[in-house]
Structure 1
Amino acid sequence: MDAGVCSNQHIPKVLDHWRNPEHPCFRERTLWSLQNAFTEALKGNLNLLPTRTEKLHYLLDHHAGVN
């Protein structure tokens, strides 16, 4: 939320997708499954999606040490 990836109203949706992934390949706890939880929760607002996705990539890349 602080990084501008999502609003506070998205946090319960992100947590739900994190805890109960729709696809078996996202059950393992990885950055990929975390990214999927965010992208699933953020679907719907096409005007905000590109900016929020860019911020999510920056945040996860920074955490993973990718420049």
Structure 2
Amino acid sequence: MFQLDTFIIQGHQKVIDHYRWLRDTAGSEAERERFQRRMVEEYEALKRYTESRSDGTRRAA
């Protein structure tokens, strides 16, 4: 299961990095804001995933 967790977390991080790159190279302020919002949404999804996994680990112990 840890390999799957690592894969999912790395996937979230890759998406966040991609949105960061898009934000930093955006041609307009509207694009930068849109990519920033998407990056925050992805970060929050990653946070929810890691919190749910740590809750499950505590319950299993």
Q: Given the two structures, how large is their TM-score scaled by the length of structure 2?
A: 0.37
Q: Which has the higher helix share?
A: 2
